Amino acid sequence: MDYQWYPGHMTKAKRMMQEDIKLVDLVIELTDARAPMSSRNPDIDELGKNKSRVILLNKADLADENQNRRWEAYFRDRKVQAVAVNSRTGAGMKQIQNVIMTACQEKIERDRRKGIVNRPVRAMVAGIPNVGKSTFINSFAGKASAKTGNKPGVTRGKQWIRLNKNVELLDTPGILWPKIEDPMVGRRLAALGSIRDEIIQAEELSLWLLDYIKEQYPGLLSARYWVSEAQDAAALLGEIAQVRGCLKMGGEPDYEKAAAAVLDDFRSCRIGRITLECLPEEPVTEDRIVE
C-alpha cells in the first residue's frame, strides 16, 4: 500500500502559509494523538523552525491514555510545549492559554523591554487534514469561529480569530506534504481519515489494521465483534462480515463493506482507544506529565 494525496489546493495553501508565517509569533500544530509523529507535516516543521512552538495531541479521547502521557513527555523532553486535548469536549483546553504564554515568554519579555505591553500573541494554527483544527478553534474561542467538517480539506481560506486581549489565531487549511516516503506513515494517515477514502484500498488497509490491533491490543476485536483472534486477518475480516451482516447475494462475505465498517469503528473508537504509533514502555514521572 502506498498512499499519496496532494491536490492542487494544498500547494496554494502552503504558499499562503509561507507568506503568513512572518505575521505570527507562534505555531500551534495539531496532531492526531493516535499517530503523533506520522500526523506531523515536515513542511510545517520547516515553516515554523524560527517560531515558538506548541504541539496539541488532539482527539486524545480516541487514543491509548498511557501513550498520550508518553507522547506528552516525549515532546517535553525535547523542550516543546505539548498538551493532549479533546477539542470536542474541551478536555485539556484550559491549559492552552498558559502553554501559549509560556512558549512565547521570550517574545513577551522582549516586547516589555521595548516598552510594548499588551500586544497579543499571534499564533498560526496548522496541521494535516482532518486533525480537528477548526473544532479546536471553535472550542478554544467558545463560539463557532471556523468552519468544521468530518472530511479532510474543509478549511481553505485565511481566517483570523481574536480570542481575547492576549491571543489572536490564524486558521490555515490542512495540508499534507508532496510525497509520503514511509509507507507506514501513509497507512496510519489513511486509517485516521487524513487521506481521502476515495483513493484508499479499504480492504487492504483494514487487514493491516486488524493485524496491528491483534498484536498491540489483544482482546479488543473479540470484545467488539465476538470473533476469535486466533486466525489471520483475512479470515478475521470474513468472520466480521458474517457477524455484521456484510454479505453478498448467496451469503458470501462482502469484504469491502466489512472493511469500511472496521475502519469506521476504529475512527469512532467503537473498537476501543487505540494508538497507531506507540512509544516504547518506559517510566513516566509526574514532573514530565502535563497536568
Q: What is the pLDDT of residues 34-44, one digit of tens each?
A: 999 999 999 99
pLDDT above 70 for 109: yes
User: What is the model's pLDDT at position 72?
Assistant: 95
82: helix, coil or strand?
Answer: strand
- What is d(CA 113, CA 98) in angstroms, rounded to the nearest whole number? 21
Tens-place pLDDT, residues 121-154: 999 999 999 999 989 988 888 765 555 455 554 4
What confidence score (pLDDT) does residue 48 get?
87
Amino acid at 172: T
pLDDT of residue 141: 81
The pLDDT mean for the chain works out to 88
Helix, strand, or coil (residue 247): strand
Q: Where are the alpha helices (DSSP H) in 104-170?
A: 105-113, 133-141
pLDDT band (50, 70, 90) for residue 220: very high
Residues forming beta bridges with residue 75, ordered by sequence position: none
Question: Which position has the higher pLDDT, 290 or 98?
Answer: 98
CA–CA dist 274, 230 (Å, integer): 20
Rounded mean pLDDT of 2-18? 82
Confidence at residue 266, expressed as pLDDT on a 0 to 100 scale: 98
pLDDT in tens, 76-106: 999 899 999 999 988 889 899 899 999 999 8
Given this model, what pLDDT does residue 119 score? 86
Which three cell numbers, joined as nine digits, stand for 218?
489483544
Q: What's the alpha-carbon Rg for the chain, to the nearest Å?
A: 20
Cα gap 100→164, rounded to integer Å: 13
Q: Which three-class secondary structure string do you get for the chain?
A: CCCCCCCHHHHHHHHHHHHHHHHCCEEEEEEECCCCCCCCCHHHHHHCCCCEEEEEEECHHHCCHHHHHHHHHHHHHCCCEEEECECCCCECHHHHHHHHHHHCHHHHHHHHHCCCCCCCEEEEEEECCCCCHHHHHHHHHCCCCCCCCCCCCCCCCCEEEECCCCEEEEECCCCCCCCCCCHHHHHHHHHHCCCCHHHCCHHHHHHHHHHHHHHHCCCHHHHHHCCCCCCCHHHHHHHHHHHHCCECCCCCECHHHHHHHHHHHHHCCCCCCCCCCCCCCCCCCHHHCCC
What's the predicted TM-score (pTM) here?
0.87
Per-residue model confidence (pLDDT) at position 143? 64
Give the pLDDT score at 291.
38
User: Is the pLDDT higher at 188 or at 282?
Assistant: 188
Alpha-carbon separation of residue 37 from 42, 188, 213, 266 (angstroms): 10, 10, 19, 19
- Percent of the chain past pLDDT 70, that is, above it, reads 90
pLDDT of residue 255 exceeding 80, the answer is yes
* Segment 51-75, tens digit of pLDDT: 999 999 999 999 999 999 999 999 9
What pLDDT score does 152 carry? 53
Q: What is the pLDDT of residue 84?
A: 96
Look up cell 487492504; give the residue: 204
Which of 116-125, 159-168, 182-191, 250-259 bottoms out in mean pLDDT, i.e. has the lowest?
159-168
Bin 48: left if φ > 0, else alpha if -120 < ψ < 50, else beta. Answer: alpha
The cell numbers describing 122, all together, are 499571534
Ramachandran category for residue 285: left, alpha or beta (phi over 0 → left; psi -120 to 50 → alpha): beta
Give the total residue count for the chain.
Answer: 291
